[in-house]
Structure 1
């Protein structure tokens, strides 16, 4: 027992690196990075503050039947969502599919063929294989959005490393795979980050009191509704964007690339980073 307590105390001591002064310093620095990210993105800040092209949040009155494809981490989730309005609880049918390791580090063709095959299985099981339903594509990796249905992949996270997808529009890649598999009745209406989906889902259920969407899982990220005028790097006129508000995806998991978190990193953090697929990122 004495040996166990000694080991436990040693581990706790190695984790106890947080001091109020250091935490206040980090808090101030992350706020500075938020502002710089809105002004110049990743060229000025470790926090990219990416525009989503989503102009507003739901209010609970929306109705309809939709399909969601959620590519986030090791699992692919496909959902049939029925919104009833009047703040009623939506109906959901969910299926999860696990990506093989070979797909996570293979080619873009392998990835999106796997996604489409899973989608076909799901639609067949819910008797909607030939139906025309709007589809939302949740793609939880850093992207530059060019419109509400166009997203250029900037880099991979969460164990994926598919090099021939980088700098390409992931919606087009998915649409090409759908066409090759003759699933042309499926129409991708929107692409978004998982934090945007979380923010929208919670706003639908709880109303405008929901201000921030946060996901803590395979990754850690957040989104919130911002005044378009404050997103200095975004040329609304050139993009044809006419709304006063826009949801911003912070990509705050990249905070620390400039050494801002060095004072609170433990040996455990360093050991995990050493064997990471993306060493030095998302500290």
Structure 2
């Protein structure tokens, strides 16, 4: 392993490690300002006239009721939202049991043709069904597709834009359920009935509400970040469905794009700006790039390089690995904390 003397920064007033890291810590007033901006952007997303320009799109999910804990049966689930995806067999009854398998999504598939992605999903689904000898059953399937989508019904959702490193052409603006159905049809060996397409936040809210009936918010901070919540229909100007009881609907905020209009510039750092500038989608999903797992390791690496450059760490010498983009994984932060 090689070590490189970092001396790329001009001389400046002597700072401590704490001084440099302090810009990553928000004070109470800054947090209040972020909350105020978030509320304003959510209101804009819910408004019919303001939604087109809103960064937080607040998509209605068409899910209007939460489980009561008495649901039962066997169900399949697909969960796609990052570099891995899961296929699950879920049995609801007196208790919930799950059998699942994780499949990788190789980098070439993440950026290759859209049909290739859905063919890969269908292939893994077929393998899961065959391994568990489920081929004779027509099982209902829920499809968790954790990317910004404009939902047009329980089983119809058009991809608004790719995030989290995906860039498959030919998918944006199209119904992802239909693309999955076409991939399954091309195989001809999978018997399922797709009953719902939803975001992972909605799935989180539904599954937690099955256990705790007071749950009203689903929040994800994983590869990316997003949140959903139960909203009154009277506040959802975008709603075009039935106004029958219950007068509520789960809203998928897609808050990963919070700050894309510049409202969070007052808390963004040089590290955030570098992450965004070097990403595959500059200027988009800025909030997600500030806090989610896909980017946290790289932010930490940049801070370490800054500390070394200022002579505050490792005697001013950095290993060649530390200077390599993407070499410091988010999981290292958790491992160090433990």
Q: Deviations over 1:80-122 (max 9, x none)?
A: 000014xx2x100010011010000001110000000000111
Q: Decide whether aligned partners of structure 1 residues 100 and 42 sit closer, same or farther in structure 2, where only a CA change above 3 A counts.
A: farther
RMSD: 1.7
SS for the counterpart of 1:79 is strand
> 2:31 corresponds to which residue?
23
Shift of 1:277: 1.4
SS for the counterpart of 1:236 is coil
- What's the TM-score once normalised by structure 2's chain length? 0.76
> 1:252 corresponds to which residue?
255
Matched ranges for 1:39-54 at <5 A: 39-40=47-48, 42-54=51-63
Q: Is the 8 A contact 2:126 2:190 kept in 1?
A: no
What is the alpha-carbon distance in structure 2 between the residues aligned to residue 241 and residue 149 of structure 1? Answer: 20
Q: Is the 8 A contact 2:227 2:255 kept in 1?
A: yes
> 1:93 corresponds to which residue?
99
What is the alpha-carbon distance in structure 2 between the residues aligned to residue 66 and residue 39 of structure 1? Answer: 36
SS for the counterpart of 2:266 is helix
What is the alpha-carbon distance in structure 1 between the residues aligned to residue 240 and residue 177 of structure 2? Answer: 22
Aligned residue pairs, count: 271
> 1:110 corresponds to which residue?
116
Shift of 1:243: 4.6
What is the alpha-carbon distance in structure 2 between the residues aligned to residue 15 and residue 184 of structure 1? Answer: 49
* Counterpart selection for 2:91 from 78, 82, 99: 82
Q: Give 5+ residue unaligned stretches, structure 2.
A: 1-14, 287-338
Shift of 1:125: 1.2
> 2:285 corresponds to which residue?
282
> 2:147 corresponds to which residue?
141
> 2:227 corresponds to which residue?
222
What is the alpha-carbon distance in structure 2 between the residues aligned to residue 126 and residue 184 of structure 1? Answer: 13
* Counterpart selection for 1:272 from 261, 271, 275: 275
Q: Decide whether aligned partners of structure 1 residues 241 and 125 sit closer, same or farther in structure 2, where only a CA change above 3 A counts.
A: farther
Shift of 1:227: 1.5
Q: Deviations over 1:26-81 (max 9, x none)?
A: 21121111111111364131110001011101011100000000011111100000
SS for the counterpart of 2:47 is helix
Matched ranges for 1:80-229 at <5 A: 80-85=89-94, 88=95, 90-207=96-213, 209-229=214-234
Q: Give 5+ residue unaligned stretches, structure 1.
A: 1-5
What is the alpha-carbon distance in structure 2 between the residues aligned to residue 193 and residue 219 of structure 1? Answer: 12
> 2:336 corresponds to which residue?
none
> 1:231 corresponds to which residue?
236
- What's the TM-score once normalised by structure 1's chain length? 0.91
